[in-house]
Structure 1
Amino acid sequence: MTNQAIDKQLLIFDFDGTLIDSVPDLADATNIMLSQLGMPTYPLQTIAKWVGNGARKLVERALSGSVEVDDNLVLADVEAAEQLFFDAYGAHDTSKTVAYPDVDSGLKQLKEAGFTLALVTNKPIRFVPHILAGMGWTSLFEVVLGGDSLPQKKPDAAPLLHVCATLNFVPSEALMIGDSINDISAGKNAEIETVGLSYGYNYGKDIRDSNPNQVFDTFAELLSWLLKHKV
């Protein structure tokens, strides 16, 4: 992207690792699951690198003890473990989940500036409204999609294209903003320009390696850029 005015009106945000730091609560639920299965638990820093591809992948990585999933995992075992994870996370009060610096005020400024905001996360949709309500963000987003809202999830283009179609925008009018390769790949697959945020999870890798159109190290920098270059 250039430093000229941008004609983007629709901002599609990722959730975990982009707007909220939810790893502490996800790690707690993961370790509860592992403990119930009699398996080793892991520190937060390790589990943080397993987050971002949805609950099933997080569970598979936890059972494998690695970001690389063990090919020998049995589907029935994974499904049973995933249910334990859902039960643990659903019963958790998510009190350790917090907004990243400047996100709360920034989202409100973007809304007031006339941007249309949408949320596309790979987190199961059942867990999203409670967190949004707790943050006071429910009214900010015109569309909210979870990882199981559609048959496809990021990095597939479908969720992003669904948002565009629902809100009557063409992809060239949108930006996909996220912290992981899934977000950047989804944007590219949908022919939507992308913004990477370097402070999120992304499996321990630099978001710049995914070649987004623009990268920012803080939400405040993103906010300043969007407001400065808005048509």
Structure 2
Amino acid sequence: MSPHLQGIQLIAFDLDGTLIDSVPDLAAAVDAMLADLGLPPAGEAKVRDWVGNGSRKLVERALAHAGDGAGEAAGREDAHERFLRHYAATPCARTRLYPGVREALTALKAQGFTLALITNKPEAFIAPILSALSLQAYFAMAVGGDSLPRKKPDPLPLTHVAERLGVAPEAALMVGDSRHDVEAGRRAGFRTLAVPYGYNHGEPVSLAGPDGEVESLAELV
């Protein structure tokens, strides 16, 4: 067993940038939204640095980059609704698992760990993506960015999941790719583990001070 898992019963995973590379589909939806508004496209490289704080923040960053960040709240809401419609049409056309993810989830579940998903992605998109990638059977519980009143880096989603699954925070591990995952885990009393390949706004996730770091989730098994 990996030393990162000593004393752990519950492993909570972030989704985007940790288990899946969803940026190609997110970027397509962002650019379609911008096109609707007569604004220039952002492109995949920019969107990769904007992901991680939920869909509203992603849209706000795209609008600001396009020079339309000071619009009225109603305009931002319209842009967000347009983004959601475009993303809902094809949420998993080019989204892929990172190497080692399926093998790790399969082995961890077989070893008796309780697995959960805690993401800032809107809840409506979680089931379609998990289904498309045949991941739904791995998780005892999944929480989205709009499932509760607050999302990561607030600790609420983590403490909620731990309480619902009957696991003490000190026996839980938060695995993610960004400083928000590390902060949420620390504030919830979870142990934290980071992967360096995801989306962390252009910063090395090691700067957030996780308890551990692995190059691939396959290192856990």
Quickly name the TM-score band, shorter chain normalised: over 0.9
* Alpha-carbon distance in structure 2 between the residues aligned to 1:183 and 1:220: 19
* Alpha-carbon distance in structure 2 between the residues aligned to 1:62 and 1:51: 10
Tell me: CA distance 1:87–1:148, structure 2 relative to 1, closer, same or farther (3 Å). Answer: same
Q: Which amino acid aligns with 2:54?
A: G
What per-residue deviation string (whole Å, max 9, x for no partner) do you get for residues 19-46 of structure 1?
Answer: 0000000000000000000011122111
Q: How many residues align?
A: 219
* Alpha-carbon distance in structure 2 between the residues aligned to 1:98 and 1:30: 18
* Alpha-carbon distance in structure 1 between the residues aligned to 2:193 and 2:13: 10
Q: Paired residue for 1:32?
A: 32
Show structure 1 runs of 4+ deviating over 2 A: 2-5
In the alignment, which of 138, 148, 156 is matched to residue 136 of structure 2? 138
What per-residue deviation string (whole Å, max 9, x for no partner) do you get for residues 139-175 of structure 1?
Answer: 1100100000001100011000000000000100000
State the SS of the aligned residue for 2:58: helix
Residue pairs, 1:66-215, within 5 angstroms: 70=69, 72-92=70-90, 94-215=92-213
What per-residue deviation string (whole Å, max 9, x for no partner) do you get for residues 90-120 of structure 1?
Answer: 1125220000001012101100011000000
Of all paired residues, the percent bearing the same amino acid is 45
Q: Paired residue for 1:227?
A: none
Q: Paired residue for 2:58?
A: 58
Unaligned runs of 5+ in 2: none
Q: Paired residue for 1:14?
A: 14
What is the CA distance between 1:74 and its match in structure 2? Answer: 2.3
* Alpha-carbon distance in structure 1 between the residues aligned to 2:13 and 2:72: 34
- Aligned residues of 2:4 and 2:212 also touching (Cα < 8 A): no
Cα RMSD after superposing both structures: 1.6
TM-score by length of structure 1 reads 0.91
Q: Which amino acid aligns with 1:43?
A: G
What is the CA distance between 1:216 and its match in structure 2? Answer: 1.2
What is the CA distance between 1:73 and its match in structure 2? Answer: 3.9
Unaligned runs of 5+ in 1: 225-231
TM-score by length of structure 2 reads 0.95
Q: Paired residue for 1:47?
A: 47
State the SS of the aligned residue for 1:96: coil
- Aligned residues of 2:92 and 2:132 also touching (Cα < 8 A): no
